[in-house]
Every structure is written in structure tokens, then in C-alpha cells.
Amino acid sequence: MKVSIVGAYNTKFGSFVKRDRETGTVEDQKSFYELLIEAGAGAIADAGLEAKDIDAIWVGACSPSLFLNQEHVGPLALEIDPEGLLFKPTTRTEGACATSSLAIYNAAYAVASGRFKNVLALGVEKMSLLDTPGVTHALACCSYWPTEGAGGMTFPGLFAELGTAYQEKHNISDDQLRTMLAHVSALNYKNGIQNPLAHFGPGSLPDRNQLVTAEAILNLPDSGKGSNPMIAPPLRLHDCSLITDGAAAVVLTSSENAKVGFKHAVELSGVGHVTERMMLKERQGRLHELQATQHAVNLACTEAGVVVGDLDFAEVHDCFTINELLCAEAIGLSLPGQAGYDMMAGKFNPEGDCPINLSGGLKAKGHPVGATGASMHALAYKQLTGAPIGIAAKGSPEVAMTVNIGGSGVTNCVSVLRRIQ
């Protein structure tokens, strides 16, 4: 039995805290709890349903215990509508930055089993209550702690290893890679600045409007105010995604039910869910490509009966700019080693055959880790049903792909989404 998305909602992404630099106090201006409720209620309303019509709920959140001392976040979804949702089953999923794709997949399997009719799958993360070292620690817990996190390895460092391996494999110089990655950032900034929900959205910061070309990014100084310092070679500040608060949700039902009871439906036509070994040291010799992601792409495309040429757009996991290039190659949009050149040639721009990250991606839209997968699905749903948020895909898009990745290429979730109504 196939399952479809019939409603979606994405909150504004941003850093919803007020920090007093003198006292060190942090005022929460939009809480984890508020984000979760807004996204859930929004998706239910978008589907034209009431809370009582929802039979079960999956909540993805990556590390709410470290971010705000809250585990057991599934039951919090009852607060979307305590009367309508009382006693409904809730499950939390976690899979690092692929957390809420797992919520969607588990929700979809449960619908496909026939146990539930309409279900809600959401993702939420509130990251900004912690300072940068705190966030870095929380995220490092998504690596293999004994030999990676505990050894001081952070995610910029892990993805830097992928970057270096990519350079070596394809004989790309530091300068060449820097230029390629600047093109990735620039494209995401340029797209994001038109997405009203993006963290770096329209009017977010006046001088960010300058960063919509690779040239502008390459001209930034290495240090000082407004600089682009090296974080973990070859990755610089503007290669890293954002520390963001946000939530997103989708309502799922069987495709059969979707066709008779809902205005719009986007089918989860293919799912590829593939796990890679976590420790980078176990993957030596294959760090220059996302093998597991590629396998997930193949599974999703085979199930959906599509080829890469059928994709009208893709939302991919640019937690670091290098990963956007690796995703483009894993999807098959670029040949191995060619994604950077294709990016520089404008292949993935909005006017291309398969634009990437029309939303601005994790780099500009923001990356509230537990919400990212749900956000990819929610915004793709909106694009496919004629209500794009931000830049519209050209024509009348019908098929899209989301590539959501947890950890250093470890939890790979690839969806092929097809408008069926």
C-alpha cells in the first residue's frame, strides 16, 4: 500500500532567543514546545483535518535532552490539541540529522500496515538556547563517541575528512575546491533570500545580500568582522550550516484515501533508507563518495519507477557545502568528481533541469537538525502542489527527491515524491 502526504507546514526557521551578553542570560522567544505545536497544528489544518482525525503521531527530535533537558517528546504532541489527541499513540524517532525522515518513514509504514488512517509526522529542534560549544558538543554525540566525539572530533572535522578525500580522489586543488564550495554557499544564499521561512531569509541581514555570488564569498577576509575563517580545512565558516530553531510536519494517509478525501496529495513513491557504518575509520578508501546515499537513491528510484532525469528538483543535505556536491553525485545529477564543475556552470540553479535546494538548503534555510527531514518533505509538498514557499520550480513540477543524511553519511534517507493529485 502506498502512502501520501496530504498536508504540510513549516514554521519560520531562525534563532529565537535573546541573549544578554553582559549577564549571559538567554530569553527563549519561541520555545521547543511552541514550535512543535505550531508545526503540528499547521499541518493538520493544511490537510483540512481536525486533530481528532489524527490516529497516531511520530515526533522526530535529535537531542532535546542536551539542548533543553527534555526527553520523551512524543507525548508533547498531545498539546497540539489535548482534547482531540488524548490517548493517541506517539513515538519519538531519532537518527541525528535524518531524525524526522525516520519519523515520516515509520509513520508511513504504520499507515501502510493498515493500522492507522491519518497520521502526523513532525520534526522539531530548538538549538539556540546553548552557546556554540554546547551545540558542538550535542552534535558530536551523533558521531561515534568513543573514538570520534570523545577524541575532540566535531562534525566540521568529520566532513573535512570527506572533503579532503574528495580532493585527493579527483585531483582537485585547495583553491579549486574553495571556489566550488563558494558557489554552493552562494547558490544557497541566493535561493534562501527569497524563502520567507529561511533563517537567512529576505531581509535577515542586509549585508548577506552581498553573499549571493561566489566571488563575494571568495573575497571575504580570513579573519576579523565579516570574515570567512577556516573551521576545519578545507571547510570555512560559510561552508557550515546554521544553528537554527524550527519545526515542520506532514500529514500522511494511504494514497487511495488521499485521492478521495483530500484536495492535494504527494505520494511517497519511493523510499531508500540505508545505514552506513558510523566510524569514519571503518570507511577508509571510500570517503570520497556517499556510497550508502547512492544505494538509498537507487532503492528509492527503483521503488518509484523513476530515473534521475525524471526529477524536477531536489532538496539535499548541505550540512556542509562539500556534502551538497557529494549528494549531487550520489543522486547521479553529476558524474563522480564533476559536481563542483557542474555547480560552477550553474547546472543546479533554479532555471536548470533539476535545481537543488530551491529553499536555500541547510546553509540558508537553516538546519534545526531534528526538523530538517520533515522540512524537506514539507517544502517539496508545497512546491509540488502549486503553493511554493520562496522560489518556485519552473513549469508544473511533478517529481522531486529529498536527500536527508544523519551523521557523517551514516543514516541516509532518500524519498521520491510524486504529485498524484
Catalytic residues: 97, 367
Q: Does 33 bind a copy of itself (CB under 8 A)?
A: yes
- Could you give the CA distance from residue 124 to residue 60 in angstroms, rounded to a whole number? 6
x/- letters, 54..73, toward a copy of itself (CB under 8 A):
--x-----xx-xx-xxxxxx
Q: Work out whether the CA dihedral 64, 68, 71, 75 comes out positive or negative.
A: negative
Cβ contacts of 118 within 8 Å, gap of 6 or more: 6, 47, 49, 53, 54, 55, 251, 252, 253, 257
Q: Does 234 bind a copy of itself (CB under 8 A)?
A: no
Contact with a copy of itself (CB under 8 A) among 12, 26, 79, 261? 79
Total of residues contacting a copy of itself (CB under 8 A): 65
Residue numbers 289-318 binding a copy of itself by CB under 8 A: 292, 295
Closest approach, Cβ 348 to a copy of itself, in A, equals 27
Q: Does 142 bind a copy of itself (CB under 8 A)?
A: yes
Q: Does 171 bind a copy of itself (CB under 8 A)?
A: no
Cβ contacts of 52 within 8 Å, gap of 6 or more: 81, 83, 84, 85
Contact with a copy of itself (CB under 8 A) among 42, 270, 388, 406? 406
- Could you give the CA distance from residue 124 to residue 356 in angstroms, rounded to a whole number? 23
C-alpha cell at 206: 542586509
Q: Does 136 bind a copy of itself (CB under 8 A)?
A: no
Which span (45-53, 103-111, 199-207, 320-328) binds a copy of itself, by CB under 8 A?
Answer: 103-111
C-alpha cell at 100: 524526522
- Could you give the CA distance from residue 21 to residue 103 in angstroms, rounded to a whole number? 37
Strands of 399-406's sheet in order across? 56-60, 119-126, 245-254, 3-10, 266-275, 411-419, 399-406, 313-316
Closest approach, Cβ 70 to a copy of itself, in A, equals 5
- Could you give the CA distance from residue 94 to residue 96 in angstroms, rounded to a whole number? 6
Q: Does 341 bind a copy of itself (CB under 8 A)?
A: no
Closest approach, Cβ 63 to a copy of itself, in A, equals 5
| 360 and 200 Cβ atoms separated by less than 8 Å | yes
* Site residues for a copy of itself per CB under 8 A: 1, 31, 33, 56, 62-63, 65-66, 68-76, 78-79, 82, 85-96, 102, 105-106, 109-110, 112-115, 137-138, 140-146, 149-150, 273-278, 282, 292, 295, 406-407, 410-411
